[in-house]
Amino acid sequence: EGKMTISEQIRILCIRSNISVAELARRVGQSPQNFNSKLKREKFSISDLEELADAVGVSFVRFFQMANGDKV
């Protein structure tokens, strides 16, 4: 089972939030063209992802999960 790329996750976020990728780009102050090229390159920092989450009113959760279940 393959792992989803961050770009795939962003596209699904848009679908589930009932907005276009272009609308998400506008909400974070980027042109749709620039945003699409970031999607193609998979170039998103943690702060980018937090900003995208804020733009659609969701949470971006990140952590490492240890073998014993602890989250870091």
What single DSSP character describes residue 29? T
Look up the pTM and report it: 0.86
Question: What integer pLDDT is reported at residue 72 of this predicted model?
Answer: 94
Q: How far is CA 66 from CA 4, 5, 23, 62, 71, in A?
A: 20, 22, 37, 13, 6
Cβ atoms of 53 and 60 within 8 Å: the answer is: yes
Cβ atoms of 1 and 15 within 8 Å: the answer is: no
Q: What is the longest distance spanned by two Cα atoms in the chain?
A: 43
Average pLDDT by stretches of 10, the chain with 72 residues: 88 97 97 96 94 97 93 94
